[in-house]
Structure formats: C-alpha cells, structure tokens
C-alpha cells in the first residue's frame, strides 16, 4: 500500500514537469515593437496630412487601417505575454507545492514506520498517506483550473484583416462591388 501511494504521488508530481520559460517576455516585446511600428505609421500619416492627390489619399487609407491593425495586434501580444506568464507561474507554484507533498509524505513514512507493528500505528500511517493523496489531488485540480483560466488564449483575436484598399491596390472598393 505504501509503495502504491508513493507511485501515485510521484505520478501526480510528474504532471508538472520542469516548466520552461513562458515566452511571455517575447510576446510582450513583440507587442511593444508592433506599438512602435504603429507610432511610425502615425508619424508618417501626420507628415502626409498637408499633401493632396491620389498618393496622399491612398496613404491616408493605408495608414489609418495599418494603425488600427498594429494597435490591435500590439494589445493582443501584450495580453498573450501576460497570460503566458500567469500560466507558467501557476505551473511553477503547483510544482513546488507538489514537491512539498512528496517531502511531507516521506517524512510521515519515516516518522510512522516504526509504529506500524501495531494497529494504531498502521491506522495512523494510512490516515497520513490518505491525507497526502487528497492534498496532491487538490493541488493538481487547483493548478489545472488556474492554468486554464490564466491561459485563455482563445479569447485573443488574431483575425486576418481585409486587404487595404487604395488607388494602387487591385482590391479597391469598386472591384469589390463588382464581385
């Protein structure tokens, strides 16, 4: 029985693995770069504001759509970075808590093993091991629930956008209407 409980606790602990870096800083950095690109597009649009003609009109259309798209993507990447960091933190805390349960079970076994020649000692050891199994199960369930909530990656919208129409783009408003 003791061996089976030990195997169960160890299997539960292996669910956590050794968490790699989350990728959160990379996603947040990408978001910052996209925000910077949006700022450059905004600056270019402001510089073209005084110009007139077909090129200026096409640039305003392009810049307006590009700014909005870059801003949305920058926000999504920042959220992605935060959620990846949260999920990795949850995994690290779960791993640490699980390791503590393994250590506590080993301590329980060391303390109670000399007493297992009596019914009361056996009962005490079984009760302690049962409590450790329940504790480990609680950690696994808590970590699963929080990691899923932290990840929530499907909520981020990375939808493809329509091509930007303009005088030099074959996908103009007129060509869309003729389809």
Per-residue pLDDT tens digits of the chain, which is 179 residues long: 888 988 889 888 888 867 666 566 777 677 777 777 877 787 887 777 778 788 888 888 888 888 888 888 888 777 777 777 777 788 888 889 999 999 999 999 999 989 989 999 999 999 999 999 999 999 999 988 877 766 665 566 566 555 545 445 544 444 444 44
Choose among 40, 32, 41, 39: nearest CA to 65.
41
pTM: 0.60
Q: For residue 99, what are its two tokens?
A: 């390791």
In whole angstroms, give the CA distance from residue 102 to residue 87: 23
Each domain of the chain, given as residue ranges in start order, spans: 2-17+24-167
Category of 152 on φ-ψ map: left (φ > 0), alpha (ψ -120 to 50) or beta: left
């Amino acid at each position: 029985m003791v061996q089976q409980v030990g195997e169960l606790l160890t299997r539960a602990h292996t669910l956590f693995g050794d968490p790699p870096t989350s990728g959160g800083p990379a996603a947040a950095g990408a978001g910052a770069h996209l925000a910077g690109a949006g700022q450059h597009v905004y600056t270019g649009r402001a510089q073209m504001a005084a110009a007139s003609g077909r090129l200026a009109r096409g640039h305003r259309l392009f810049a307006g759509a590009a700014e909005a798209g870059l801003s949305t993507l920058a926000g999504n990447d920042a959220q992605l970075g935060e959620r990846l960091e949260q999920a990795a933190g949850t995994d690290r805390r779960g791993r640490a808590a699980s390791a503590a349960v393994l250590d506590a079970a080993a301590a329980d076994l060391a303390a109670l093993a000399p007493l297992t020649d009596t019914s009361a000692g056996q009962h005490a050891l079984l009760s302690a091991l049962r409590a450790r199994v329940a504790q480990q199960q609680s950690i696994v369930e808590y970590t699963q629930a929080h990691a899923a909530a932290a990840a929530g990656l499907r909520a981020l919208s990375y939808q493809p956008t329509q091509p930007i129409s303009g005088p030099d783009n074959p996908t103009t408003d007129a060509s869309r209407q003729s389809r």
